[in-house]
């Protein structure tokens, strides 16, 4: 049954995005807010807003019982979780199901399975998706050398009980694999009381690529092309592009097929993203994980396909079939998104809440801004620092970069520091222009110099 009144269990730009998508479908909206977000842009645009609790997320946006209670008592028959917060916690769709509310996302059991890295990896393997070449448990230094020779160097020795980098050693050859075995094993015993190790291939300069998926839960799964999200700082994406210009077409086809096969194998429903590591030197890709939600960077896929993913999410949650077929999904041009964070790059990216005093975004063809900000808006200190996403669409990558440079140059923000100047520096860098970046490029190449100039 199509959703008639949608509850938005999120905040910030994505809450506004979801309200807009619902309104385009003539669906009423109720937005959940915390005490700090009473006057948010999404709350103003929606038909109704409901204050869940105090500013602290744990007592508002992260309490599934408060959210489902508010949704049910306000007469909502659908709930969109956005991204972050509770979007990938199976408890939310389970409570929704108990109370007759359609959840805009996958089945809770699928969320649980994909959220468990080992199960997700096993599912990917079973669906024929390439995994990072690796070993079972290695029992001795000789084993480590043999496995290292088989996998191909450099390799990573990892504690199976591990985490946080402890018990982790990189080996570039057989001798280092043997020595690394002793070191990593000793560290693992000390840290976790368990010296069991396994090995996997280490890709020093990898790209992060991901495939946008949409399933109807009835066996049909489509992809909307891939994105390249290799500009990262501390595993946080800063710039996302679509398509991945560094990937040749034959590999791109395999990537899409792998992602669709994995989603189809669990009869995936609604939007999801399969993330991969792309080893450019070897021209291979390996599965990382599936994110069972809409992602921050979905607009670049929308830009190159001309398709509204959030509207499709809402339709599918209301029981509709996919509104297009795979051959209707045509990729056109190149899109780039940069995440505008209220952070001070000169102070090691310290988040900087406060009041926006001037907010004059650029306008023009091929420019899209997803943001809940305006002049006078307050950025509260309780949530993440993203204040918007600037998306440009051009005929090719060079055109998109030129448009983005213009757009940033014409974007006036005052009141709080943002990452816009950093984005301007990134897209002016020869490595970015020539597309020679990888996931550690920003931290290894650009930021050391950028810090000096800013200081």
Partner 1 sequence: MIAEKDPVIAAIDDARALLDTLLTSGWLQLHVASGETEIFLARDGGGTNPMRMIAAAPLIAAPAAQAGPETAVPVPHVATLEQALAAGTQVVAGQTVATVRVLDEQEDIAAPVSGTIVRVDAVPGVLLEYGATLLSIAAVA
Partner 2 sequence: MTGHDFPDALKQLLDEFSRSGIRELHIRKSDFELYLSSDASAARPRAAMTVVAPVSASPTQPAATPKPIAAPIAPISSLPDDAVIINAPNLGTFYRAPKPGAANYVEVGSKVQAGDELCLIEVMKLFTAVRAGTSGTVHAVLVEDGAMVEGGQPLFALVRD
Q: Which of 246, 256, 415, 425 binds partner 2 (CB under 8 A)?
A: 415
Stretch that binds partner 2, among 123-131, 240-248, 300-308, 376-384 (CB under 8 A): 376-384
* Angle of CA points 68, 74, 77, to nearest 5°: 65
**In the annotation, is 150 catalytic?**
no
| 48 vs 32: CA distance, rounded Å | 9
For residue 166, give the DSSP letter. B
Stretch that binds partner 2, among 61-69, 190-198, 224-232, 413-421 (CB under 8 A): 413-421
The verdict on 62 binding partner 1 (CB under 8 A) reads: no
Q: Which of 76, 79, 400, 416 binds partner 2 (CB under 8 A)?
A: 416
Task: Dig out the tokens for 113 from the structure.
Answer: 């399975």
Q: How far is CA 325 from CA 218, 219, 307, 341, in A?
A: 14, 13, 12, 36
Question: Quick one: CA dihedral 377, 381, 385, 386, positive or negative?
Answer: negative
Nearer residue to partner 1 within complex by CB, 35 or 344:
35
Let me know: does 87 contact 108? Beta carbons within 8 Å: no
The least CB distance from residue 61 to partner 2, in Å, is: 13
- Taking CB under 8 A as the rule, which mask of x and - marks residues 86-125 in contact with partner 1? ---------x---x--------------------------
The least CB distance from residue 351 to partner 1, in Å, is: 25
The one catalytic residue in 252, 269, 293, 397 is 293
Q: Which of 384, 399, 406, 431 binds partner 2 (CB under 8 A)?
A: 384
100: phi then psi, degrees, rounded to nearest 5: 70, 30
Stretch that binds partner 1, among 51-59, 218-226, 304-312, 334-342 (CB under 8 A): 51-59
Q: Which of 20, 23, 47, 51 binds partner 1 (CB under 8 A)?
A: 51
Nearer residue to partner 1 within complex by CB, 66 or 320:
66
Instruction: Work out what residue 433 binds among partner 1, partner 2, none; the CB cut-off runs from 5 to 8 Å by kind.
Output: none
Residues whose CB is less than 8 angstroms from the CB of residue 363 and which lie 6 or more positions away in sequence, other chains included: none
The verdict on 385 binding partner 2 (CB under 8 A) reads: yes
| 353 vs 385: CA distance, rounded Å | 7
The verdict on 381 binding partner 1 (CB under 8 A) reads: no
Task: Dig out the tokens for 232 from the structure.
Answer: 């990262």
Nearer residue to partner 1 within complex by CB, 33 or 260:
33
Residues whose CB is less than 8 angstroms from the CB of residue 257 and which lie 6 or more positions away in sequence, other chains included: none
The verdict on 60 binding partner 1 (CB under 8 A) reads: yes
| 104 vs 98: CA distance, rounded Å | 15
The verdict on 69 binding partner 1 (CB under 8 A) reads: yes
For residue 437, give the DSSP letter. -
The verdict on 189 binding partner 2 (CB under 8 A) reads: no
Q: Which residues 56-85 are close enough to bind partner 2 by CB under 8 A?
A: 56
Closest of 234, 238, 227, 228 to residue 436, by C-alpha: 228
Stretch that binds partner 2, among 95-103, 246-254, 348-356, 433-441 (CB under 8 A): 348-356
| 242 vs 209: CA distance, rounded Å | 9
| 28 vs 271: CA distance, rounded Å | 21
Contact residues for partner 2 (CB under 8 A)? 35-36, 38-39, 55-56, 342, 350-355, 357, 376, 378, 380-385, 414-416
């Amino acid at each position: 049954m199509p959703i008639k009144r949608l509850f938005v269990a999120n905040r910030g730009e994505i809450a506004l995005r979801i309200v807009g998508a619902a309104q385009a479908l003539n669906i009423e909206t109720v937005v959940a807010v915390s005490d700090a977000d009473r006057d948010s842009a999404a709350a103003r645009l929606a038909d109704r807003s409901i204050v869940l609790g105090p500013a602290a997320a744990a007592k508002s946006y992260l309490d599934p019982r408060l959210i489902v209670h508010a949704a049910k008592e306000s007469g909502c028959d659908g709930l969109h979780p956005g991204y972050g917060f509770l979007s990938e916690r199976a408890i939310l769709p389970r409570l929704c199901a108990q109370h007759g509310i359609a959840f805009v996302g996958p089945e809770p059991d699928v969320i649980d399975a994909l959220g468990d890295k080992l199960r997700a990896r096993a599912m990917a393997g079973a669906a024929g998706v390439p995994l990072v070449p690796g070993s079972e448990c290695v029992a001795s230094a000789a084993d480590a050398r043999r496995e290292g020779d088989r996998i191909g160097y450099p390799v990573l020795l990892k504690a199976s009980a591990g985490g946080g980098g402890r018990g982790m050693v990189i080996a570039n050859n057989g001798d280092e694999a043997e020595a690394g075995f002793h070191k990593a094993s000793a560290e693992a015993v000390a840290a976790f009381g368990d010296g069991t190790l396994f090995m996997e291939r280490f890709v020093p300069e990898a790209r992060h690529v991901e495939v946008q998926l949409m399933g109807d839960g009835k066996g049909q799964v489509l992809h909307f092309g891939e994105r390249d999200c290799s500009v990262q700082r501390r595993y946080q994406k800063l710039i996302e592009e679509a398509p991945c210009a560094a990937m040749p077409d034959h590999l791109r086809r395999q990537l899409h097929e792998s992602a669709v096969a994995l989603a189809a194998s669990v009869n995936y429903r609604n939007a999801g993203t399969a993330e991969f590591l792309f080893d450019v030197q070897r021209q291979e890709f390996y599965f990382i994980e599936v994110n069972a939600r809409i992602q921050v960077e979905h607009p670049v896929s929308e830009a190159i396909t001309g398709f509204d993913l959030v509207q499709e999410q809402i339709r599918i949650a209301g029981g509709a079939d996919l509104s297009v077929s795979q051959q209707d999904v045509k990729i056109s041009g190149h899109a780039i998104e940069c995440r505008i964070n209220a952070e001070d790059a000169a102070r090691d990216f310290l988040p900087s809440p406060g009041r926006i005093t001037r907010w004059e975004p650029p306008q023009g063809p091929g420019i899209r801004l997803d943001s809940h900000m305006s002049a006078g808006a307050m950025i509260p200190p309780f949530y993440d620092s993203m204040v918007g996403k600037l998306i440009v669409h051009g005929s090719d990558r060079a055109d998109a970069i030129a448009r983005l440079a213009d757009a940033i140059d014409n974007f006036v923000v005052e009141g709080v520091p943002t990452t816009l100047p950093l984005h301007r520096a990134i897209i002016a860098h020869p490595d970015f222009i020539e597309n020679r970046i990888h996931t550690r490029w920003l931290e290894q190449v650009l930021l050391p110099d950028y810090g000096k100039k800013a200081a």
